[in-house]
Amino acid sequence: MDILLATNNRHKVEEISSLLGSHGFNIKSLIDYPGLPKTIEDQPTLEGNALKKAKEAFKATGLLSLADDTGLECYYLELKPGVVSARYSGERATYAENNMKLLHALKGVPPRRRNARFRTVVAIVGKDMQRVVEGKIEGDIAESLRGTGGFGYDPLFIPAGSRKTYAEMGMDEKNTISHRSIAVAKAVEVLLEIEVKS
């Protein structure tokens, strides 16, 4: 089955492809379609943005499209940055800038109040179908950047039950527990259902 990952983010393509890889899907991404316009992520929820990306990718290519939107939700900050996590410090924000802004927002906040959760919503859109699934994991925000792996807020997020940030883990270790792996596992169930029906 051909599946289009509706993202130009190479880190996401690598991570999601590794999660889908063992199921024999033929995976493409928007990197393979450089002429397509970028989806404006202007929806108020992760669900809305994921669906919008998947719908636009399907409409443009006709391929079964899978899109995710991920948010880091800090309880002390009333679930911010949330839906604007990737643009927390501006439309063209770098990972480093976002991490620095989050550290500044939580400066002086004690460890017991630095709890947060990561949420990934995955939307799957094809002919006459659309489905949305979600993965989430609780954790804490570190008081300084730790580790060199991963991307985004990985150097700051310590998943519950671990002493390491995502960035201190290898991809295989991260993929056994991460919010994205939980969401993609649910998406795989949907994709296998579709494959059986077709």
- Whether 198 has a pLDDT exceeding 70, the answer reads no
The conformation of residue 117, written as its DSSP 8-state character, comes to E
Residue spans of alpha helices (H) in the chain: 10-20, 46-61, 95-105, 171-177, 179-197
Distances (CA, A) of 173 to 21, 146, 164, 183: 16, 16, 11, 16
Distance (Å, whole) CA 7 – CA 122: 12
- Residue positions annotated with a catalytic role: 69
Distance (Å, whole) CA 169 – CA 95: 18
Q: Which CATH number fits domain 2-197: 3.40.50.2300, 3.40.50.300, 3.90.950.10, 1.20.1250.20?
A: 3.90.950.10
Query: Hey, what amino acid is at 153?
Result: Y
Q: What is the band of 138 on the pLDDT scale with cuts at 50, 70, 90?
A: very high
pLDDT, tens digit (0-9, with 9 covering 90-100), for 82-132: 999 999 999 889 999 999 999 999 999 999 999 999 999 999 999 999 999
Query: Hey, what amino acid is at 48?
Result: G
